């Protein structure tokens, strides 16, 4: 997420690049806040796109605001292999109830095609005749930010770290518009015949040596760990929570391409006579994959209705979920009918969080570890390098016989080249009771309690521990 913050004490103006794992966060810091208010004026129309703006909109012509806005757009433009040549900074009132959907509809009504940047849906490339514009849209608690930047149309706008979707909003009548871009509505085709990436159809219970392989939930759902997925059932309804798969989960600039790979890999091999295939994916800030079909289940010979679903969370932790019911009506009775909107999918999306299994003492034996790294690079507004800071942590828990444990927590932080190092080592006793764990002799000798559970993955488990302050450890076994 890209946000603005103000710091009167720091000079010079810096662009911060914050890297956490594989996620990139760009934060723009400003140095001054006092400028002539006459340079923030009411506006009714964008000069770059000529679209009408809702009542209460303001144009910010302050020099530092334009510098900051251009720098923000330029960072994304670099990923698209182009440059920003002009910028327009607009603030909209939250009372206007102007949304990303409103923006797209207004742009398309004025002849612009919209291609959303796949890796960051706050950005989109707009095209009209020979004009190209990079747009940024963010709803904040106190206002709505809308930036337009003219970009060099002679340079390519794809092929960098981020690519843009290729579905123009000015497509034929068979498409509709959602909050952040085009959606192919009710597209019916024959089932794709692409070679599967992974064709395993084994549905037998997993034999991984862990004590708990099923979890009954209070609302009637039961989770069972299988070799390639967690299977969640209630009555005749079944949901397969597919485990992470490097090939299936790989990034695709065109969402449909990724969906088809997932369908052919995870779903199609388990069925015969696939009919009524429909790709109904919704592209938005957090896109919704939705593919449905009727088919005959190979393992049972039964006719079923199938839906492949995924919510593409910005953190990248979305999972492909396969819903299997006796017919379409049974699915809609449990989860509701399909709706062409990015919101209202929580009941389906939240099924992925049922991949949870209790923890026993014997399950913990061994060493579990996690590592995190973050860096912060400073640049002057003219592009010069101004230094960097970095933080790294390593956490390791070893559970031994006799309910003994030891843990080692190491960290380094500060300016690169002059970092401060720290280390804490604890030893004591541990106890675990399915979903809770206690470790003695922690900070100042106190006993520390954690909530805990296992998440099943192919070939093993991930141990999740969360303390009373919300500190989360996601640990894998060495």
pLDDT digits (tens, 9 = 90+) for 93-114: 888 888 888 899 999 999 999 9
pLDDT for 383 equals 66
Is residue 25 over pLDDT 60? no
Q: φ and ψ at 375, to 5 degrees?
A: -135, 155
User: How many angstroms separate the CA atoms of 108 and 121, rounded?
Assistant: 17
Q: Are residues 263 and 374 in the same domain?
A: no
Q: Are residues 341 and 234 in the same domain?
A: yes
3-state secondary structure of 17: strand
Confidence of residue 183 (pLDDT cuts 50, 70, 90): very low
**Contact, 281 vs 255, CB < 8 A?**
yes
**Contact, 210 vs 454, CB < 8 A?**
yes
More confident residue, 187 or 371: 371
User: How many angstroms separate the CA atoms of 404 and 441, rounded?
Assistant: 11
Classify residue 99: in a domain, yes or no. yes
Q: Are residues 274 and 174 in the same domain?
A: no
Is residue 55 over pLDDT 70? yes
Q: Are residues 83 and 127 in the same domain?
A: yes
- In the DSSP assignment, the letter for residue 228 is S
Query: Could you read off the pLDDT of 286-304 as tens digits, one per residue?
Result: 899 999 999 999 999 999 9
User: How many angstroms separate the CA atoms of 217 and 433, rounded?
Assistant: 17
Classify residue 147: in a domain, yes or no. yes
More confident residue, 189 or 26: 189
Question: Quick one: how far is CA 57 from the chain centroid?
Answer: 30
Classify residue 439: in a domain, yes or no. yes
Is residue 228 over pLDDT 60? yes
- Listed in sequence order, the residues at least 6 apart from 357 whose beta carbon sits closer than 8 Å to its beta carbon are 210, 212, 213, 214, 215, 223, 225, 453, 454, 455, 456, 461
**Tally of structural domains, the chain:** 3
Q: Give me the residues paired with residue 45 across strands.
A: 52
Give the number of other CB atoms < 10 A from CB of residue 115.
Answer: 21
pLDDT for 2 equals 37
Query: Could you read off the pLDDT of 75-96 as tens digits, one per residue?
Result: 888 777 788 888 999 999 888 8
* Final residue before a domain boundary, out of 161, 184, 207: 184
pLDDT for 336 equals 96
- Listed in sequence order, the residues at least 6 apart from 9 whose beta carbon sits closer than 8 Å to its beta carbon are none
Question: In this structure, what token pair is assigned to residue 184?
Answer: 């192919």
3-state secondary structure of 154: coil
**Contact, 317 vs 330, CB < 8 A?**
no
Classify residue 354: in a domain, yes or no. no
More confident residue, 62 or 265: 265
Give the DSSP H/E element, type plus range, for residue 369. strand 366-380
3-state secondary structure of 160: coil
Q: Are residues 279 and 420 in the same domain?
A: no
Confidence of residue 161 (pLDDT cuts 50, 70, 90): very low
Give me the chain's average pLDDT, please: 80
Q: Give me the residues paired with residue 317 across strands.
A: none
pLDDT for 43 equals 93
Is residue 234 over pLDDT 80? yes
pLDDT for 155 equals 43
Q: Are residues 287 and 247 in the same domain?
A: yes
Nearest to 357 by CA among 239, 458, 216, 453: 453
Q: φ and ψ at 365, to 5 degrees?
A: -50, 125
Q: Give me the residues paired with residue 124 across strands.
A: 116, 135
More confident residue, 201 or 261: 261
Is residue 179 over pLDDT 70? no
Confidence of residue 140 (pLDDT cuts 50, 70, 90): confident
Nearest to 419 by CA among 427, 411, 428: 411
Confidence of residue 243 (pLDDT cuts 50, 70, 90): very high
pLDDT for 73 equals 87
Structural domain of 444: 361-477
User: How many angstroms separate the CA atoms of 182 and 284, rounded?
Assistant: 8
Q: Indicate which CATH number applies to the domain containing 385.
A: 2.40.128
For 43-63, what is the mean pLDDT? Answer: 91
For 310-319, what is the mean pLDDT? Answer: 88
* Final residue before a domain boundary, out of 162, 184, 206: 184
Is residue 11 over pLDDT 60? no
pLDDT for 378 equals 74
Greatest extent of the chain over all pairs of C-alpha atoms, in Å: 74
User: How many angstroms separate the CA atoms of 475 and 399, rounded?
Assistant: 13
Classify residue 351: in a domain, yes or no. no
Is residue 407 over pLDDT 90? yes
Classify residue 353: in a domain, yes or no. no
User: How many angstroms separate the CA atoms of 47 and 29, rounded?
Assistant: 26
Confidence of residue 232 (pLDDT cuts 50, 70, 90): very high
**Contact, 172 vs 182, CB < 8 A?**
no
More confident residue, 202 or 137: 137
Q: Are residues 401 and 442 in the same domain?
A: yes
Is residue 395 over pLDDT 70? yes
More confident residue, 15 or 336: 336
Q: Are residues 57 and 154 in the same domain?
A: yes
Give the number of other CB atoms < 10 A from CB of residue 93.
Answer: 15
Q: Are residues 132 and 209 in the same domain?
A: no
Question: In this structure, what token pair is assigned to residue 261?
Answer: 């790979």
User: How many angstroms separate the CA atoms of 454 and 461, rounded?
Assistant: 6
Q: Are residues 165 and 278 in the same domain?
A: no
Classify residue 267: in a domain, yes or no. yes
Q: How many helices (H) and strands (E) in the chain?
A: 6, 29
Q: Are residues 58 and 96 in the same domain?
A: yes
Q: Are residues 366 and 397 in the same domain?
A: yes
pLDDT for 38 equals 56
Report the percentage of the chain scoring pLDDT > 90: 52
* Final residue before a domain boundary, out of 290, 313, 346: 346
Classify residue 392: in a domain, yes or no. yes
């Amino acid at each position: 997420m890209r946000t603005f913050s103000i710091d009167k004490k720091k000079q010079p103006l810096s662009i911060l690049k914050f890297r956490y794992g594989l996620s990139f966060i760009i934060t723009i810091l400003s140095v001054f806040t006092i400028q002539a208010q006459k340079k923030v004026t009411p506006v009714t129309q964008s000069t770059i796109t000529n679209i009408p703006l809702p009542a209460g909109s303001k144009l910010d012509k302050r020099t530092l605001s334009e510098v900051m806005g251009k720098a923000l757009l330029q960072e994304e433009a670099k990923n698209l292999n182009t440059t920003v040549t002009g910028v327009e900074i607009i603030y909209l009132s939250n009372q206007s109830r102007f949304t990303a959907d409103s923006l797209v509809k207004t742009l398309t009504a004025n002849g612009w095609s919209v291609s959303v940047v796949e890796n960051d849906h706050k950005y989109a490339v707009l095209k009209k005749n020979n004009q190209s514009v990079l747009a940024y849209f963010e709803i904040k608690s106190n206002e709505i930010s809308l930036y337009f930047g003219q970009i060099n149309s002679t340079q390519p706008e794809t092929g960098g770290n981020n690519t843009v979707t290729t579905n123009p909003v000015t497509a034929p009548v068979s498409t509709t518009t959602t909050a952040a871009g085009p959606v192919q509505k009710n597209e019916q085709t024959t089932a794709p015949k692409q070679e599967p990436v992974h064709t395993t159809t084994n549905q037998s219970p997993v034999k991984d040596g862990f004590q708990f392989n099923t979890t009954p939930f209070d609302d009637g759902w039961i989770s069972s760990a299988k070799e390639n997925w967690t299977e969640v059932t209630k009555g005749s309804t079944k949901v397969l929570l597919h485990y992470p798969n490097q090939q299936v989960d790989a990034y695709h600039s065109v969402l449909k391409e990724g969906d088809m790979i997932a369908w052919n890999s995870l779903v199609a091999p388990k069925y015969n006579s696939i009919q009524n295939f429909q790709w109904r994916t919704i592209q938005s800030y957090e896109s919704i994959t939705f593919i449905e079909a009727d088919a005959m289940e190979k393992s049972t010979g039964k006719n079923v209705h199938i839906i492949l679903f995924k919510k593409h969370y910005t953190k990248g932790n979305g999972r492909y979920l396969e819903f299997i019911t006796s017919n379409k009506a049974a699915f809609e009775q449990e989860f509701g009918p399909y709706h062409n909107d990015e919101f209202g999918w929580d009941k389906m999306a939240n099924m992925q969080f049922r991949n949870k299994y209790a923890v026993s003492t014997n399950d913990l034996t061994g060493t579990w570890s996690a590592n995190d790294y973050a860096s912060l690079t400073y640049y002057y507004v003219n592009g010069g390098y101004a230094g960097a800071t970095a933080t790294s942590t390593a956490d390791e828990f070893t559970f031994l016989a006799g309910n003994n444990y030891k843990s080692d927590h190491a960290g380094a932080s500060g300016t690169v080249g002059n970092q401060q190092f720290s280390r804490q080592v604890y030893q004591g006793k541990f106890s675990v009771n399915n979903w809770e764990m206690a470790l003695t002799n922690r900070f100042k000798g106190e006993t520390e309690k954690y909530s805990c559970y296992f998440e099943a993955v192919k070939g093993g488990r991930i141990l999740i521990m969360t303390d009373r302050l919300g500190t989360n450890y996601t640990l894998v076994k060495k």
